[in-house]
Amino acid sequence: MHDSPFVSDLPAEEAMRAWREARAASGCPERLDEVSVELDRAIGRVTAAPVWASRSSPVGDVAAMDGIAVRAADTAGASETTPLRLGPDAYEVVDTGDPMPAGHDAVIMREHVHRVDGGSGGDAGTVEILAAVPPFRNVRSIGEDISAGELLLPENHRLRAVDVAAAAASGATELTVRRAPRVAVIPTGDEIVPVGSPPRTDQILDTNSLMLVGQAREAGCQAWATPIQPDDADRIGSAIEQATADADLVLVVAGSSAGRDDHTARVVAGLGTLAVHGVAVRPGHPVVLGTANATPVVGVPGYPVSAALTFDIFAAALLAELEGAIPPHRPEVSARLARKLPSVVGMDDWIRVRLGSVRGKVVATPLPRGAGVLTSLVRADGLLFVPAAVEGHHAGDRVGVQLLRHVPEVERTIVATGSHDLVLDLAATALRRGDPSLTMVSSNVGSLGGLVALRDGLCHLAGSHLLHPDTGEFTLPYLDELLPERELAVVRLVHREQGLLVPPGNPHGITGLADLAERGLSYVNRQRGAGTRVLLDHELSELGIDPDEISGYSREEPTHLAVAAAVAAHRADCGLGILAAAQAFGLDFVPVSREPYDLVLDRDDLTDPLLEPFWELLASAEFRASIETLGGYSTAETGRRIR
């Protein structure tokens, strides 16, 4: 028996190969059944046989324009200086698509025909033309588009609307295609409850089934989720057996790791073949690949980011094979990395990123990488792949990013980097409401990190509230130190209240920062370089308190909301943050300081058309009022340029 709890820990390509071999040995179908479907139901399906044209299009010579059909030879010599007149016996009136009259081989456009006398509506009488026409001018010849007997569409081609239209023109009324794959999703876990349930702290909503069924349907499959199965091997095995009777692929959610309640690998081995247990991919390491009753089975990790990636890498590739289609492919762009990105050697690493275009160059900002961070799936604009042999990348490195959004959307994205503030999220919502093509993304790396990103050309706006201890000023002194050669502008966003976030009712009776050391309270801090961290250090210095005296000083969170969440979950007695974060989590607030929060940018960017809607938003009375409702903000100087 292998010492590892995993049967295997293979690179993704080797895992796919092992799974493919196991499927073949287990008698799993290589292709889905062929079915004949009417044309209007064929879009999105994959052809199971070549499509040959049974008739030509057009079926005979037809007029390509409204006008008169003539014999080209009869028009010889016509010009503006020598107009030519044609009597009613020399032409016939035609409309676009009409069969060409016998003996006529050209069409003169109606606007180039001048009636001289007789007739009405151009149906008879003598006409005058000012130019000769060659044979077959404005005529669509038989088979010009499609010739009877030609190959129109090959086998294993995913049908588009235009393909189906061409098939109809060639005489088809039905097409032979692979039927839609059928995918069953089996959620498992004693702690899983249906979406819509009010979960307790020890329960998790079954969002994975909703997501995986949706991914399968986006891939053109028929998909459904079974009832949630408890952590019981027999119940899970029975659910898999039932699902294999109808499904071409079974996805078992959770239970794929090596814990005492993780049964998927053992159940799959008992029902059929366990090909792989553990793949060198992050996130998504504990993947199960196998078969049961001649049906492919995937054990999907329970964390949502891992689950989504597992579908993309393994399930989507298998479904394409079953249909005889090429695997899904995303376009790729080259981007500069906004911050340092470490990676574990020996594991393929997939990182979701936000994208924007700064001075004509795409910038990629990594999103939080936790396998359970569902919002990283929502906010991602692209996927960055770091191969197993690479340790990671430095800020500013060029990387390839697979696009999850279109390039024009990326180019219409305002990139804000630096200190976290809820007003930026509020602005992002308001901008999108006013212009669906405009996006604002913010990356929370602290005030100092934002200024460094601005220096390196990795953002449009740097949010900062850095207190300079020697001068008592905010942000401005740092600009001369960090960006002395740059022509910069500084725009006031808000003034805001900073204070200690404490549990409801302030059970510890906290009155200020002095209590942290005197009473041994547990604290949750912000990261180095964050303006809130600088403010704390300054205030502690003023009070003569050594940071080492504070329990939890080294524990860091990246945003005000994360600090509030830690206090709300009783993982800390308090933390420094903004009033709006306290209100979001129903916490009490002990005021410490009132500070300005500013936006720093290159002076030239003040007139950038991309940023113009943002400046208009800051001037809006309605938007300022929405800021005030967050609590702890003053908009008296919002939008004022202070440098």
Cβ atoms of 419 and 444 closer than 8 Å: yes
Q: Which pLDDT value is given to residue 3?
A: 39
- Other residues' Cβ atoms within 10 Å of the Cβ of residue 500: 26
Tens of pLDDT, residue by residue over 252-267, are: 998 766 666 678 999 9
∠ CA(496), CA(497), CA(500), 5° rounding?
145
Element holding 614 (H helix, E strand): helix 612-618
For position 5, what pLDDT does the model report?
44
**Tokens encoding 76:** 């010889």
Q: What integer pLDDT is reported at residue 395 of this predicted model?
A: 87
Cα–chain center distance at 392 = 22
Hey, what amino acid is at 140?
R
- At 443, the pLDDT band (50, 70, 90 cuts) reads confident
Question: What's the confidence (pLDDT) of residue 445?
Answer: 86
How far apart are the C-alpha atoms of 626 and 190, rounded to whole Å? 42
pLDDT tens, position by position, 275-321:
999 999 988 788 999 999 999 999 999 889 999 999 999 999 999 99
Would the pLDDT of 79 be above 80?
yes
pTM: 0.83
In this predicted structure, the answer to whether residue 615 has a pLDDT above a threshold of 60 is yes
User: Cβ contacts of residue 271 below 8 Å, gap of 6+?
Assistant: 237, 240, 241, 292, 293, 297
Q: Which domains does the chain have, with CATH numbers?
A: 12-32+180-323 (3.40.980.10), 34-58+144-178 (3.90.105.10), 62-140 (2.170.190.11), 452-634 (3.40.190.290)
Report the amino acid identity of residue 193. V
Q: Kindly tell me if the per-residue pLDDT of 2 is higher than 50.
A: no
Residue 245 neighbours by CB under 8 Å, 6+ apart: 293
- Among the ranges given (22-26, 97-101, 121-125, 177-181), the one the predictor scored with the smallest mean pLDDT: 121-125
Residue 4: the pLDDT is: 40
Question: Position of tokens 């235009």?
Answer: 162
- Which of the 8 DSSP states describes residue 315? I
Query: Alpha helix (H) ranges present in 27-132?
Result: none
Long-range interactions of 610-616: CB distance < 8 A, separation 24+: 610/412, 610/414, 610/460, 611/414, 611/460, 611/461, 613/431, 613/434, 613/435, 613/438, 614/414, 614/427, 614/431, 614/440, 615/491, 615/639
Band of pLDDT at residue 574, cut at 50, 70 and 90: very high
User: CA dihedral defined by 30, 33, 34, 35, rounded to 10 degrees?
Assistant: -160
Q: Please tell me the predicted confidence (pLDDT) of residue 258.
A: 61
Side chain identity at residue 14, one-letter code:
E
**For residue 330, what are the CA distances in angstroms to 217, 309, 366, 380?**
18, 14, 18, 14
- For the segment 349-403, what is each residue's pLDDT rounded down to a tens digit? 999 999 999 988 999 999 887 655 677 788 899 999 999 899 899 988 999 999 9
Question: Measured between alpha carbons, how far apart are the two ends of the chain, in Å?
Answer: 69
The answer to which of 112-121, 152-161, 342-351 has the lowest mean pLDDT is 112-121
Cα separation, 211 vs 376, whole angstroms? 14
pLDDT at 199 over 80: no
| Contact by Cβ (8 Å): 545, 551 | no
Residue of 284, 424, 418, 302 whose CA lies nearest to 351 = 284
Confidence band (pLDDT; 50, 70, 90) for 1?
A: very low
DSSP state of 559: S
Show the tokens assigned to 537.
Answer: 């250090």
* Confidence tier at 485 by pLDDT (50, 70, 90): confident
Average pLDDT over residues 323-336: 92
